[in-house]
Every structure is written in structure tokens, then in C-alpha cells.
Amino acid sequence: MINPCLDANFSKTKISSRLRICGFQAAFLILIVVLMNSDNFSSLNLSVNAQVPTIDLIKDRPSTRDVFSPVDSMRNGNVKVVDPADKQKTKQNRLALEKLAKWFAFRLNVPPYNGEPDENPKAKSRKSQDKPIVQLFNELEKTYFLIPGVSLRSKEQYQYADEFCIAMNKELRFVMANANKTIVRINAARMLELISKMPCPSLADSYLAILKDPKEQLLPIKIFAIRGLANVLSHSDTIQPDRHIILSQEKLAEISTALESIITTAAPPELIVDEDQKRTWQFYRRDAIKALAKLRYSVIRSNAQAIIAKPVLTLVRASVAGESFSPEISLPEQVEALIGVIQMRPDRDTNLDVMAYAVNEGVLSIVKKQRPDRNHPEWLRSIPWKITGIRFTNAVTTWKNNIKFVPKSTNSANAKYLQDSLVTNIFQKWEENGSNTIPSTDPLLNYEKTKVPATPFLIKDVKESALWQPASPPAKK
């Protein structure tokens, strides 16, 4: 289902109706509308190097014989995209995918998909003409996507998904680099994020390039790149399903570092001058937290077993709303960070009693912030507490499975005790009662008082993993 927020024809007058549709994504919609109507766009360096072709939606439609039929055969797994025994056939197959990719990418730059009215006399008779961009996205997804576990099964289909994503990435990045209209660039980024629903590890490089580009100043485009990374991290290797589709530990560490930088970097003061802008930044940072939480490893090691990234540390500090974040960590961000911490695989050098203590502190902080009174000014409508309870319970199940395989030296006894306590006393109550009941903090306070670890280090012998000053236990909240 394509988000109606991304209809290229929206305007300020449609904000109220769109907010009702998009719910918790209201901040993102406000961000796009404000940016589109801001004078800042005129000063952005878009690095326009070439002109996106202006295609005719009728005359330039690819032929069935040269494009649509061959692509259907590749998508169904009847034809290999890459045939080592027939280089000419491989070239033709890739050319068909390239033409199809251009057909979708370049349409973003012409009416009605670029926000301009459709001058075609037949336009008035078309259905759903008020949301042409949604129709375009649905056409792409429903007709040409293959989803793992649903429609994606054979090796030939995995090859198709990978090759089609590569072709789409090339054309969409061209549009993003050269389109003059901001909405075209944003929709190209959205389409680039959409294709990550299919398994294609090389897409990670494209998303990382966007996030690292100092000339890219549009938060919506960065948000779509972050979501693309989250989707890539969600895909599993076909041979070893417990691993990421990205097998390179160095690449996973690069992704972790990029996302951690977004989470820990303070927002520029000029971007958070009011409450709406602050919430927009928190929305942007929350997506980075959600993406980082998709990493399955709490610590990433090189092939030589050296530690090259520690994503769990950033998530732990966000889960307890550490004071070093600017603006402050919001409750939705805390929830996403804590779920990520719980379901990450502990490293062999993880002190599980320290990890359990940190999880207890995170849950305690969240429970204290929960408000049962819907008239209270701090009552958070954006937290679906029943669903949140289910997500936490599922995360604890993953945590239980993960610690079965860690060494005894990781001090797992406290973690095992806490797991059952959290599900019984906290998460099940959220699942059953939602926002109408606040769980008691007594079990959490008792754990905080009686289960203080002997060491503050989350990772053995790693000084920067200290969660509090070694000289004293963590302060009571």
C-alpha cells in the first residue's frame, strides 16, 4: 500500500485530510510540505549534470515483445537473466530490464506524476486521477516485484530480483541527481526505497552514498535511504537464513557506523527552532534507530575477529534516553531502540547481566513516561501500546533463543530471570490493556535495587562500553 502522503499533487490545503490518513507520519508530511514551500530550495546545490528525458507516456511505452514479455518470463523464473552459456541472451535480458526501469523512473519527471496537470484529453476519464503517483507505485510493485516467502522462490527469481533492482537503482539515481523539481527527486527516492522490498545486497551502497553525500540536504530523501537500508537488513541469506543477505562484516559495520552517526549527531540549532521541527528531527532519527535495530549482531567482528562496530551501545543509550542526544530522545525512539537491544544476538564478550540491567532501566523509563489520562497534555497517541506489548514479547522470545548459545561466562542468570518478569509484569499488561493501564514499577525497581552488576562494562574489556561510572552503580531514577 503506497503512502498517500507521496501523491505529487498534494498542497497545503490538503494537509488536514492527509494527516488523518497518515497518522503517526504527520511530521513527515509537514516536513515535505514545508520544504516544498521554502525559499531554502532555491539555494540548494542539486548538482544538475544532465537533463532527465521528457518521455511521451503513449509513444514511448515499451513494446510487449521487446520488454514486457521477456521480463514476465524472467520474473516467473522461466528464463535466467544471466546465462553464462549465452552472452547475447544475457545482454538482451539486461537491456529489457533497463528499458523497463527507465519507463518507471522517467515517468516521475512528467505530468501527471511530477505534480503538473495532465494535459492529455483522456485524463479526465481515467480512474483515480487524483493520485497518479500512487497508481504508478502500485503498478511497479504489484506487477514486477517478488517478495521472499511469498512470490520469490527459485534461484532464477532471486537472480531476476537482484538484476531488476540494479537496473532500477541506476535510473532512479540518475533522476535524483538531475531532476529540477524537488517532488520528482523525493518520489525517486521513495521508489528507490520501495524496490528494497526485493533482496538485493548492492542497494546498500546506494543508500549509504545518499546518506554520506554532503550536498544532499533534503531530510525526506535521507529518510527513504534509511528505510531502504532497514529493508536490506531485513532480508536473509538463502543458504544461511540466520545471517543477513549482506555477508560482508565490513559492509555491515559501515552501515552501522552511518546509522549511529545519524542517531548521535546533534540536530543543527536552526533546524529545531520550534516544536514541529524538533519532532520532525526525532522522526528522522527514529527511522535511523529502527534501521540500526534490524542488525542481528550486537557487536560486529571482522574475519580476524576484531571488533569493528558496536551498534548495541548506541541503542542501549537511546533506550534509556541518555542526556547526550539533541534534541532529547522521544518515547517512540526509546521503544524502537529497546526492542532492537533485546532482539540482538549477544556477542561472546557481552556481559548479559549488564545488558539485562540496561533493559530493565529502559523499560522502567518507558513505564514512568506512560500516561493513562487521555486529557493529559503528555498523553502519547502515537504509541500503539497493545501492539508494542506484542512486539516486546516477541523480542524477548528472540532474546531467549539467542542466549542459549552464549558462553556461561556472559552471566546470563539475571537475564533469564528478567525475561520472564518483563513478559508477565509489563508486556502482557500492555498487550491486554493498552494505554488504559500502567504496569506497576515495583518489579522493575526491585530489580534495579537488587541486581546491580559487578561491572559497568556491557562488553568485556571494552572501556567505551561502560554504561555508568565504574566507581559507582547507576543512579536511581
**Stretch 351-362: mean pLDDT, rounded?**
94
* Model pLDDT for residues 229-287, shown as the tens digit of each residue: 999 999 999 889 889 999 999 999 999 999 999 999 999 888 778 888 888 999 999 99
Residue 410 domain-assigned (yes or no): no
Residue 361 domain-assigned (yes or no): no
| pLDDT category of residue 73 using cuts at 50, 70 and 90 | very high
CA dist 54 to 59, 179, 234, Å?
12, 11, 36
Residue 441 domain-assigned (yes or no): no
**Stretch 349-367: mean pLDDT, rounded?**
93
Residue 35 domain-assigned (yes or no): no
pLDDT attached to residue 379: 59
* Model pLDDT for residues 99-115, shown as the tens digit of each residue: 999 999 999 999 999 88
Residue 319 domain-assigned (yes or no): yes
410 or 123: which leads in pLDDT: 410
Residue 242 domain-assigned (yes or no): yes
Residue 429 domain-assigned (yes or no): no
165 has pLDDT over 70: yes
pLDDT attached to residue 1: 34
Contact call for residues 340 and 381 (beta carbons, < 8 A): no
pLDDT attached to residue 374: 63
Q: Is the overall model pTM greater than 0.95, yes or no?
A: no
Residues contacting 272, CB < 8 A, separation 6+: 278, 281, 327
* Model pLDDT for residues 360-397, shown as the tens digit of each residue: 999 999 998 886 566 665 555 668 899 999 999 999 99
203 has pLDDT over 90: yes
11 has pLDDT over 70: no
> Rounded to an integer, what distance in angstroms lies between the CA atom of residue 241 and that of residue 369?
38
**Structural domain for 237, as ranges:** 216-341
Domain count, the chain: 1
289 has pLDDT over 70: yes
Residue 306 domain-assigned (yes or no): yes
